[in-house]
C-alpha cells in the first residue's frame, strides 16, 4: 500500500479508498480517536479505531509520542475540524514511547514554556510551535534562493574556515589543531601558529563578504547563504553565536541600488511566506496573540502577525540618514526624559537597539533604512563619502527586531582603502588579496548581509532567536 503524507491525505476526497499513513501519536482519546502528525503540516489526521476489534495489548502501546503506521478507509469525518478521517483497519506500533517517561518530557500534552522546550531541543520539533517555525524556516530559505536565481544572481559558497576577520571586530572563534596544553612557542613566548594546521592563525568566518566581493568582480551578481560565527558575548534575544547569513554582492551597484535590492528582496521572501505558509502562520499568529495577552496593554502589538507582514510588504521602507536620525533621537521624549539606557547627546554616537526600536516602532512606525553612518563606528571596507566623515553604510531596521540587514557600498579606491586599513590598525598583510581587487579592474560595488534567523523571527513572531534555529548556539550553550 502507498503511504501518504498527512498533508496530501487531508486534501483527498473521502473516497472510502484504502490509505496508509505513518507518523507520531499526538493524542489518543477514549481509546477511539488517534491524532497522528507526521510533520508535513501542522494538521493531524484523525484515525478512528474500533478498539473492541483489536488486541488490548496493542491498543495499550498506542501512546502519546509513539511512532505508528495506520491503514484504513478514508471517509468523511463525523467530527469537527477536518473533512476526512481514517477508519482504521490495521495499526502497527513502530516505536514505543513509555507513557510514564513521556510525562517527564515535553511530549506530554500539557503546555510547556519555550524555555523548557529549549532544554529538550531534540524533541521540540514534535510540538506545533516548532513544527510551524521550522516549516516556515525551510520555505523562507527556498524563497531566498528563488529570489536571487530568478534575478540573475549566482549562488556561491564562501569559506567557513578563514584567515581574515571580515568585520575587523575581532569576534572570532579560533580554529586550531595545536595541543592547547603544550603549544609550540616562538622565541618571544607567544604561541607559534606557523606550526598550526594552516601555518597561520585561522578562525571561523564572521561573514562571507570579502570573498563574495571577489566573485562579484567576475560574475557581477552573486549571493551567499551560509553559516556565520560570532564570538560576541551577547546574551540577547537577537544574537546567536552561530547563525545563517544571506549576502548578495553586486558589481556596478551603488548604495541606492543596494537599498532597493534589500527592500525588494525582503518583501519578496515575506510575500512568499504569506502565500505558501498559510496554515503555519495562522497558528503562529494565534500563539503570539495568546502570548501577548499575558503582557501589559502598552507592550502588546497593535497589529496581528499577518497584518504586520502585510504592512511590510505593502509599504515603502522609510530611508533616513544617520544625521537625521540623530536629530530625531536627540529631541525625542525618551531621550529628554532620560529613558534611554544610552542617552544620545552628540553626532557620532553608535545606535543601540533601544534607539533603533524607537525610530521604527514609535517614530516612523514602519521599517526604516538608515544610511550614511559615521565612518568611526562602521567597518573598514565601507566607501568614504565626500564629507570624509561618513560612509556609504546602510542598516535596515525592523519592528520588534531592530537591525535585520547591514550593508554598504564598498570602498573601491585602492589608496583610500589602504589608508583606512592602516588607520584602523588592521594588518594589511592579511588583506593583500582584497586590496589587489582594487588594482585590477576595480569598480563600484555594493552588498549587504541579512541575518536569516532575524528574518525567521520576524515572520514567525517568535520573541527569542533561539527558537527559530534547530540547535541554538549561544554563550555557555552548545548542548545537543
Residues at the contact surface with Mg ion, assessed by CB under 5 A: 406
Residues 6 or more apart whose Cβ sits within 8 Å of residue 467: 114, 117, 118, 129, 130, 133
Rule CB under 6 A: is residue 245 a binding residue for ligand 4AD? yes
Residues 6 or more apart whose Cβ sits within 8 Å of residue 139: 272, 273, 276, 277
Residue 18 contact among ligand 4AD, Mg ion, none, beta carbon within 5 to 8 Å by kind: none
C-alpha distances out from residue 416 to 135, 304, 411, 423, 430, Å:
46, 48, 7, 10, 17
What minimum distance in Å lies between the beta carbon of 450 and ligand 4AD?
6
Distance from C-alpha of 385 to C-alpha of 391, rounded to nearest angstrom: 5
Distance from C-alpha of 110 to C-alpha of 103, rounded to nearest angstrom: 9
Nearest residue to Mg ion by CB is 406
Rule CB under 6 A: is residue 404 a binding residue for ligand 4AD? yes
Nearest residue (CB) to ligand 4AD, 64 versus 222? 222
Residues 6 or more apart whose Cβ sits within 8 Å of residue 463: 114, 237, 291, 457
Type and span of the H or E element at 306: helix 305-314
Residue 405 contact among ligand 4AD, Mg ion, none, beta carbon within 5 to 8 Å by kind: ligand 4AD
Question: Which one of the spans 185-193, 267-275, 307-315, 446-454 is the region binding ligand 4AD (CB under 6 A)?
Answer: 446-454
Distance from the first to the final alpha carbon of the chain? 37
Q: Which of 10, 240, 288, 421 binds ligand 4AD (CB under 6 A)?
A: 240
What minimum distance in Å lies between the beta carbon of 243 and Mg ion?
12
Q: Which of 367, 407, 461, 472 binds ligand 4AD (CB under 6 A)?
A: 407
Nearest residue to 467 via CA among 233, 142, 119: 119
Residue 209 contact among ligand 4AD, Mg ion, none, beta carbon within 5 to 8 Å by kind: ligand 4AD
* Residues paired with 122 in a beta bridge: none
Q: Which of 23, 447, 461, 472 binds ligand 4AD (CB under 6 A)?
A: 447
Rule CB under 6 A: is residue 451 a binding residue for ligand 4AD? yes
Distance from C-alpha of 230 to C-alpha of 238, rounded to nearest angstrom: 13
Question: Which one of the spans 39-47, 346-354, 361-369, 441-449 is the region binding ligand 4AD (CB under 6 A)?
Answer: 441-449
* Residues paired with 92 in a beta bridge: 69
* Residues paired with 433 in a beta bridge: none
Residue 285 contact among Mg ion, ligand 4AD, none, beta carbon within 5 to 8 Å by kind: none
Nearest residue (CB) to ligand 4AD, 193 versus 448? 448
Answer positive or negative: Cα dihedral of 63, 68, 72, 74.
Answer: positive
Whether residue 56 contacts residue 39, with contact meaning beta carbons closer than 8 Å, is answered with: no
Q: Which of 86, 102, 405, 456 binds ligand 4AD (CB under 6 A)?
A: 405
Rule CB under 6 A: is residue 207 a binding residue for ligand 4AD? yes
What minimum distance in Å lies between the beta carbon of 448 and Mg ion?
9
**Number of residues counted as binding ligand 4AD (CB under 6 A):** 24
Residue 448 contact among ligand 4AD, Mg ion, none, beta carbon within 5 to 8 Å by kind: ligand 4AD
The set of cell numbers assigned to 8 is: 496530501
Whether residue 21 contacts residue 3, with contact meaning beta carbons closer than 8 Å, is answered with: yes
Q: What are phi and psi of 255, to 5 degrees?
A: -65, -35
| Residues contributing to the site for ligand 4AD (CB under 6 A) | 166-167, 207, 209, 230, 232, 239-240, 243, 245, 247, 403-408, 447-451, 453-454
Amino acid at each position: 500500500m502507498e503511504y501518504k503524507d498527512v498533508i496530501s491525505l487531508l486534501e483527498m476526497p473521502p473516497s472510502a479508498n484504502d490509505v496508509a499513513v505513518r507518523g507520531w501519536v499526538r493524542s489518543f482519546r477514549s481509546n477511539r480517536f488517534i491524532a497522528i502528525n507526521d510533520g508535513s503540516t501542522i494538521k493531524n489526521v484523525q484515525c478512528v479505531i474500533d478498539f473492541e476489534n483489536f488486541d488490548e495489548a496493542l491498543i495499550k502501546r498506542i501512546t502519546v509520542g509513539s511512532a505508528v503506521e495506520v491503514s484504513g478507509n478514508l471517509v468523511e469525518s463525523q467530527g469537527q475540524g477536518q473533512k476526512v478521517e481514517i477508519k482504521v483497519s490495521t495499526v502497527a506500533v513502530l516505536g514505543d514511547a513509555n507513557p510514564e517517561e513521556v510525562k517527564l518530557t515535553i511530549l506530554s500534552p500539557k503546555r510547556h514554556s519555550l524555555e523548557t522546550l529549549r532544554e529538550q531541543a531534540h524533541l521540540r520539533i514534535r510540538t506545533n510551535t516548532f513544527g510551524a517555525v521550522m516549516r516556515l524556516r525551510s520555505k523562507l530559505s527556498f524563497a531566498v534562493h528563488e529570489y536571487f536565481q530568478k534575478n540573475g544572481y549566482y549562488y556561491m559558497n564562501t569559506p567557513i574556515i578563514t584567515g581574515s576577520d571580515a568585520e575587523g571586530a575581532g569576534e572570532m572563534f579560533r580554529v586550531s589543531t595545536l595541543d592547547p596544553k603544550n603549544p609550540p612557542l616562538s622565541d618571544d613566548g607567544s604561541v607559534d601558529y606557523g606550526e598550526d594546521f594552516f601555518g597561520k592563525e585561522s578562525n571561523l568566518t564572521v561573514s562571507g563578504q570579502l570573498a563574495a566581493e571577489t566573485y562579484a568582480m567576475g560574475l557581477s551578481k552573486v549571493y551567499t547563504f551560509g553559516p556565520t560565527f560570532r564570538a560576541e558575548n551577547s546574551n540577547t534575544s537577537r544574537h546567536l553565536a552561530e547563525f545563517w547569513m544571506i549576502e548578495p554582492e553586486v558589481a556596478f551597484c551603488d548604495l541606492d541600488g543596494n537599498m532597493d535590492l534589500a527592500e525588494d528582496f525582503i518583501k519578496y521572501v515575506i510575500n512568499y511566506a504569506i502565500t505558501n505558509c498559510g496554515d503555519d502562520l495562522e497558528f503562529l499568529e494565534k500563539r503570539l496573540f495568546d502570548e501577548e495577552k499575558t503582557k501589559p496593554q502598552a507592550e502588546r502589538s497593535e497589529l496581528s502577525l499577518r497584518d504586520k507582514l502585510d504592512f511590510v510588504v505593502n509599504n515603502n521602507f522609510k530611508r533616513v540618514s544617520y544625521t537625521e536620525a540623530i536629530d530625531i533621537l536627540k529631541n525625542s521624549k525618551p531621550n529628554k526624559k532620560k529613558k534611554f539606557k544610552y542617552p544620545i547627546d552628540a553626532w557620532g554616537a553608535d545606535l543601540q537597539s533601544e534607539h533603533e526600536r524607537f525610530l521604527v516602532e514609535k517614530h516612523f512606525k514602519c521599517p526604516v533604512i538608515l544610511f550614511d553612518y559615521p565612518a568611526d563606528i562602521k567597518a573598514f571596507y565601507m566607501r568614504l563619502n565626500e564629507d570624509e566623515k561618513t560612509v556609504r553604510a546602510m542598516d535596515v531596521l525592523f519592528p520588534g527586531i531592530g537591525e535585520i540587514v547591514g550593508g554598504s557600498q564598498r570602498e573601491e579606491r585602492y589608496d583610500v582603502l589602504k589608508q583606512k586599513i592602516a588607520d584602523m590598525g588592521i594588518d594589511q598583510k592579511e588583506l593583500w588579496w582584497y586590496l589587489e581587487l582594487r588594482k585590477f579592474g576595480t569598480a563600484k560595488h555594493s552588498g549587504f548581509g541579512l541575518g536569516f534567523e532575524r528574518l525567521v523571527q520576524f515572520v514567525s513572531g517568535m520573541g527569542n532567536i533561539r527558537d527559530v534555529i534547530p540547535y541554538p548556539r549561544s554563550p555557555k550553550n552548545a548542548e545537543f
